[in-house]
Structure 1
Amino acid sequence: MPPLLSYGFRPFYILAAMLGAAMVPLTLAGIFGLVPAPDYFGPFTWHAHEMVFGYAAAIIAGFLLTATANWTGLPPTRGAGLAALTALWAAGRVAIWYGDVLPGALVAAIDIAFLPAVALAVGAKVVRARNFRNLIVVAVLLALTLSNLALHLVALGYDEAIPDRAIEFSLGVLMILLALLGGRVIPFFTGNSLPQAKVRQMGRLDMVALVLLLPALVPGLDTVAPWLFGVAALAHLARMIGWRTMATFGTPLLWILHLGYFWIVVSLALRAFGGLYPEAATAGIHALTVGAVGALTIGMMSRTALGHTGRPLHASRVTLSAFVLVNLAALFRVGGALRPDFGTEVLWASAAMWSLALLLYLAEFLPVLTSPRPDGKPG
């Protein structure tokens, strides 16, 4: 079996980085009319859809297909099964691109099928191992599937008011998933690497913090009851205090994850001001999508790729540069949303830094992800 098909993180991290590097400048060019966007979605919906259901979904799949083996003690999805899931994800990207010539129902069916297929692969192992506490990730995958379905219904000619609501709902689900998985792996990695930091997890606070994210699932609520987002921001900031974030500053593979989680706090705090300043609500969305999603995904792709392939947990200068660039991209994008008068140059600068960060990731990790473990062990 080729190393590429031995664990889910290998093909999906590569594909996600390739898509993410290409799609942000490409969809931005489509929004500004510089290149034709696929007719199936409008340019704005295409941009949002591909970053959630293309880029983020690939990383989620790679992470969960790998983590499930650790959770359950069962062999991971590999070989032909993993190849089929990878092909299904790629088929969704191609189908949307050629959506103007393919039957709309076929495009929708191909793209929508990916997340339920991942949910089935993960859920089957979780149930077989009676590891029921992790069925929550299956529920989250199915919730994302529903929002993807809603976007495709628009493309097929149904309710034109759906896109914004479906996108906001999907971002809320994505934030809950990031907070759920981040709350597991960030303190775990920190405690293992820095035992002297005495990381603490507070079960009740963790549960309350996750429940307080539920308002993010309701489109427009940040302008009606913004205080809910302020309370959630404080809860997640308190959660981070127990993780000893300040102790991680000398360890890039840790601080990138902590900083990524902090972008969730920033996103919630900005949306708490959405009722007074509409620009703040928009900036809060980008703090989530560019900041939290960008930093957490590139951090997790780096840390888990090194760990699962038996390599030293050390961030090279190339990796460190990618970490810095993705956070600068978030700062520029959030700043551009808060101050629209900055002009489109800020957006293009953010897109360039985002893409460069992922290209650097590929340059550093493509050999890692396509070669066997140096120690000969599975991974």
Structure 2
Amino acid sequence: MTHRLILALILASLPIAGSAERIALTPVQVTDWKAVYGRIETRNRVPARARIGGTLTELQVTEGDMVAEGQLLAVIVDQKLGFQLSALEAQKIAIAAQLANAQAEVRRGEDLLKQGVTTVQRLDALRTQADVLAGQVSALEAQMDVTRQSQTEGQVLAPAAGRVLAVPVAKGAVILPGEAIATLAVGGSFLRLSVPERLASSLNEGDEIQIENGAVAGTGRLAKVYPLIENGRVTADVEVEALPDRFVDARVLVRLPVGSHAALVVPHSALATRSGLDFVGVETPSGVSLRTVVPGLHFTQDGVAQVEILSGLVAGDRILTVAPTAAQTATGGDHE
């Protein structure tokens, strides 16, 4: 049995050839994609810093924890503040006693002035001394309030809601004022790309980006292209809905549109594959014939799987949109 006879039997047995839709091929513009890696980054990295120096006595968070704004992260204790408060309290008691004595002297001076025993100048001096002592008491009270406020500032609070990225300190460590106790990721996350500069002219804000990375797979939007080129690469940011932020700086495979070219495209359903060869049913004046083709890029357009045909078809060919199922069995036999 010859190969031509086998092919004739195939075409004669096609049950779908009459019902499949026929379309005439015309070149269409196909987007060229460039695969690059992006990194998941947080919008803001906010450090939770110590406002006073001292010893870290409590540490209530660790890497990966979610925290709310104002949540207590750690407690720093400076024992010197307690001693300062005690010293100020003792000074206040001493000056308060002097103030009470000065106020008593003022009252006695007023009584003596009524009796004509003392002078107005002497009474004014007593009143001035009492006012000075009262001012010293007020100053000490203000210093005590400052010390108490410093004690409360030993509580390190979360500056914003987010995820804890790093905790570079340990319980019992000596902390300096301004030192970071934890670093928080706040404000959500986005993808940051580093693209070779030869592709910079093809990047446009608003372009759709394909993402191919497991749970993150989908599409995104090119939100910003930075004008500064460093080390031959351009930085760009991609907005992605519901982008997970569990792992910051994780690498994600994305595809960027970098151009387009004219190509012949057929529905994926039009292909029949057998023994490593791909066939498409083509309508000819003498009927339907199978033509061997070389497929290229596979992509989805308007929800339909499409395949670019590199060779085997020409513009104007009328093809079947559904592959002949019988061809997959018959073309698999040995040719004599």
TM-score range normalised by the length of the shorter chain: under 0.3
TM-score normalised by structure 2 residue count: 0.18
TM-score (norm 1): 0.17
- With a CA cutoff of 8 Å and minimum separation of 6, indicate the structure with the bigger relative contact order: 2
